[in-house]
């Protein structure tokens, strides 16, 4: 089955074609991704209306490019998958309408895909995918969740952030430090030049049982450090390094706690923050002592992309899931509401 995937949940337009006849590690025939970072940089964050308009401008050219790269004609496509949520409603609608229109014109089924399920399944695109069951840390600008995953659609929420997502905390720290947009990568870049023990930032909620996260207090500690540091401009790298160390340490220790609680040894890290180099290195070190194993998407598929939507959509189309001509999207959509695939 060849599936065209369309991702437009926020500020990146992704289009890809996945062929499950080639196996998960070799099934991606083509993919394109257009980022709106430069456009939103002037505003210091995503402007929803501008994001929606830009998706409209980019979708048709990207679909044409992907079809040409894959050597596909409309008759070669067996289904179309699109991100239906969660995300910005206007942005989601642009991709959903495009996908449904193409599906109708080409006479193929369409299937809505949960954005975070796409992220969760992205490591299955790799040559050595993780086997079920595993624990998943979904960590991005909008989500920080720990899930037990027993199969596609078989998700148990173990813990989540009660306030800011981890990626959101990175971005807000960057903004309060006056760093460039997008903030997360900039904080990590500055952190490489600083001392991670320069500031004693808290590791939120590690002194409590459970697997929930909180990053608002850590963010406040960074603001306090900025305001109370006389030579603050010279200490930006140290603040970034100390903040990143605290955030990563919190994530890893909750992941290890989740593995011990579930008795599992495999963990998947997915979402934009999973590309963080310190997170990957420290996670490997933490797992070494317990015989655990971590799985990640390729760096290109950590951020929003069409490949993960094409792959996830292919699994659901194979299970017989489709939608009619009506189009609906969900800005909020719990993953635990998804149906299981046998």
Binding residue per annotation — 139? Answer: yes
Q: Do domains 2-121+301-337 and 131-296 have the same CATH topology?
A: yes
Domain 2-121+301-337 = CATH 3.30.420.40 = yes
* pLDDT at residue 198 in the model: 96
Phi-psi sector, 308: left (phi>0), alpha (psi -120 to 50), beta: alpha
Q: Is 142 annotated as a binding residue?
A: yes
User: What predicted TM-score, i.e. pTM, was given to this entire model?
Assistant: 0.95
User: Is residue 286 left, alpha or beta, with left meaning phi > 0 and alpha meaning psi from -120 to 50?
Assistant: alpha
pLDDT value of residue 230: 84
| Cβ 289 vs Cβ 283: under 8 Å | no
- The predicted pLDDT at position 44 comes to 87
Q: Name the residue with tokens 């997915």.
A: 270
Under 8 Å between Cβ of 114 and 335: yes
28: annotated binding-site residue?
no
Write down the H helix ranges in 42-182. Answer: 48-70, 89-106, 115-121, 166-176
Known binding residue 153? Answer is no
138 is in an annotated binding site: yes
Check if CATH label 3.30.420.40 holds for domain 131-296: yes
What residues does each domain of the chain span? 2-121+301-337, 131-296
**90 assigned to a ligand binding site:** no
Q: Is 119 annotated as a binding residue?
A: yes
Structure tokens given for 9: 């949940």
Q: Is 11 annotated as a binding residue?
A: no
Residues 291, 266: Cα–Cα separation, whole Å: 9
Residues 6+ away with beta carbon under 8 Å from 174? 180, 181, 182, 183, 184, 186, 187
- Cα 20 from Cα 189, distance rounded (Å): 37
Q: Is 31 annotated as a binding residue?
A: no
Query: Going residue by residue through the chain (342 aa), what tens digit of pLDDT does each one get?
Result: 999 999 999 999 999 999 998 766 679 999 999 999 999 998 989 999 999 999 999 999 999 999 999 999 999 999 999 999 999 999 999 999 999 999 999 999 999 999 999 999 999 999 999 999 999 999 998 899 999 999 999 999 999 999 999 999 999 999 999 999 889 999 999 999 999 999 999 999 999 999 999 999 999 999 999 999 988 889 999 999 999 999 999 999 999 999 999 999 999 999 999 999 999 999 999 999 899 999 999 999 999 999 999 999 999 999 999 999 999 999 999 999 999 997
């Amino acid at each position: 089955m060849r599936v065209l995937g369309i991702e437009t949940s926020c500020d990146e337009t992704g289009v890809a074609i996945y062929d499950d006849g080639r196996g998960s590690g070799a099934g991606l025939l083509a993919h394109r991704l257009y980022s709106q970072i430069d456009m939103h940089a002037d505003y210091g964050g995503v402007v929803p209306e501008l994001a929606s308009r830009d998706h409209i401008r980019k979708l048709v050219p990207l679909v044409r490019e992907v079809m040409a790269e894959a050597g596909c004609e409309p008759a070669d496509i067996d289904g179309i998958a699109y991100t239906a949520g969660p995300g910005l409603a206007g942005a989601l609608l642009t991709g959903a309408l495009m996908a449904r229109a193409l599906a109708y014109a080409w006479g193929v089924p369409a299937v809505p895909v949960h954005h975070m399920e796409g992220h969760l399944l992205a490591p299955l695109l790799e040559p050595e995918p993780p086997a079920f069951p595993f624990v998943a840390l979904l960590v991005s600008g909008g989500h920080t969740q720990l899930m037990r995953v027993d199969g596609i659609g078989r998700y148990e929420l173990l813990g989540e952030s009660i306030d800011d997502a981890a990626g959101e905390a990175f971005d807000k720290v960057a903004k309060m430090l006056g760093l460039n947009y997008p903030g997360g990568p900039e904080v990590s870049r500055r952190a490489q030049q600083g001392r991670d023990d320069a500031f004693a930032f808290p590791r939120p909620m590690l002194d409590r049982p459970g697997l929930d996260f909180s990053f608002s207090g850590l963010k406040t500690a960074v603001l306090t450090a900025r305001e109370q540091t006389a030579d603050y401009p010279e200490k930006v790298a140290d603040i970034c390094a100390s903040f990143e160390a605290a955030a990563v340490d919190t994530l890893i220790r909750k992941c290890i706690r989740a593995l011990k609680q579930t008795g599992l040894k495999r963990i998947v890290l997915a979402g934009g923050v999973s590309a963080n180099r310190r997170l990957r290195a420290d996670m490997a070190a933490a797992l070494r002592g317990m015989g655990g194993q971590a799985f990640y998407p390729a760096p290109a598929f950590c951020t929003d992309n069409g490949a993960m939507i094409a792959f996830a959509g292919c699994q659901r189309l194979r299970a017989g899931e489709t939608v009619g001509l009506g189009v609906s999207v969900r800005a909020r959509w719990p993953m635990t509401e998804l149906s299981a695939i046998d």
